[in-house]
Amino acid sequence: MKFKLFIEYDGTNYSGWQKQNNAKTVQGSLIKAVEKAFQKSKGESRLIDLQGSGRTDSGVHAIEQVAHIDCETMLAPHILQFKINDELPSDINILNIEKADDRFHARHSAEARQYLYRISKRRTAFDKKYVWWIKDELDASEMNEAAQLMTGMNNFQSFSEPDKENKSTKVLVDFIEITEDEELILIRIKASHFLWKMVRRVTGILVECGRGNVSKENIKKYLAHFSNEPAKYTAPPSGLFLEKVFYKK
């Protein structure tokens, strides 16, 4: 039996998504919760595998991460959701579970992913773990113009860790959308896939554009030739959320 899981989590206290032997991770916590739920359920149930749509870094959150589990169980999806949530810590929650086709794979079947970055324009007592507070006044329209240079197919080698990537650094970005209200600037970016630290470095560069420290010509150069400059402006993980994963209908 294969199930598709929709998950939300606060990544503040986790060393990212991927299971590690000596660190607390979201995937590791989910595996433990599933195994405990199966141990307590009547009849024989066994977890075979649990995989996510992609890795989120240490401190990064998810509004809707998608994962799949391969298992042997007779439990219905809504019963399984209830039992697993009972075993999970309060900062991880399964929003829904549904049966999936045997060919479905949370990562390989995904066509695109969308991230949200939240920038706070003021000091906040409640939202500190979920925003990047910037004291400087940012020009959101300038940021938006700069963001459009990054849409389409581009080489984001300058916005990743080259020695950590064993895949192509060319990424198809569907859109980058910047909106603001009285308290927040929101950056949404949807792409075919993302490189390690890519969203945080794109955000950092856009913020520097909003401050007037980086020009649109600089961005064109970063995309045309490798540069270490974006690494200096890597945004903190606190404001970053995996917002949605897209699959074929």
Provide the β-strand partners of residue 99: 3
| Catalytic residue flag (residue 57) | yes
Cα 128 from chain centroid (whole Å) = 18
CA torsion sign for 156, 160, 161, 164 is negative
55: nearest Cα among 142, 183, 161, 209: 161
> Which long-range contacts link 97-104 to residues 24+ away (Cβ below 8 Å)?
97/3, 97/4, 97/5, 97/6, 98/3, 98/4, 99/1, 99/2, 99/3, 99/4, 100/2, 100/3, 100/4, 100/68, 101/2, 102/2, 104/2, 104/4, 104/68
Catalytic residue (choose from 10, 49, 57, 136): 57
Distances (CA, A) of 1 to 71, 74, 181, 225: 6, 9, 45, 47
Catalogue the active-site residues. Answer: 57
